[in-house]
Structure 1
Amino acid sequence: MATTPRTEPAAAAPFEPSAEPLPDFSGVDVGALATRTDHAVLGDVAALLLRNWPTGEDAVAYYEDGPGALLR
């Protein structure tokens, strides 16, 4: 009986972020998107964003809020 050599699965390459920048959607009018879209999920997401949208006085980010704080 011939034996087949055992092969181990190849190790996955370490994750590296893409060098391609993310698209800039800062000019999107979320209010108009929520009322004009016929896509059920996109409309729900836009409505949820608007419901939880902070005012200019409430929008605050702290250095400790970054993803590094969760990785300690």
Structure 2
Amino acid sequence: MATIPRTEPAVAAPPGPSAERLPDFAGVDVGVLAARTDHARLAEVAALLLRNWPSAQEAVAYYEDGPEIAVH
């Protein structure tokens, strides 16, 4: 009986942060984007952003808003 050699899958390094910088979308006008897009999901997200967007006077960030806090 012939023995088939066993090959183990290569162990990949655990995922980590990329060294590549994220693009800066700070200058994007979400209102214009919502009005001009024909992508259904993007339009839905833009509308949700606009509905929940506080005015400049209301914009506040709290320490508790960090990613480790579960959103219900």
Q: Give the TM-score band, short-chain normalised.
A: 0.7 to 0.9
Deviations 1:5-56 (A, max 9, x none): 2222221212221111111111111011111112222111111110111223
- Amino acid aligned to 2:31: G
Distance 2:12 2:56 in 1: 44
Structure 1 residues without counterparts, runs of 5 or longer:
none
Change (3 A) 1:43 1:68: closer
Q: What TM-score, normalized to structure 2? A: 0.75
Structure 2 residues without counterparts, runs of 5 or longer:
none
Change (3 A) 1:10 1:67: same
Instruction: Quote the sequence identity (%).
Output: 74
Change (3 A) 1:59 1:14: same
Pairwise CA RMSD:
2.0
- Amino acid aligned to 2:4: T
Distance 2:41 2:34 in 1: 10
60-69 or 3-12, larger mean C-alpha shift: 60-69
Runs of 4+ in 1 over 4 A off after TM superposition: none
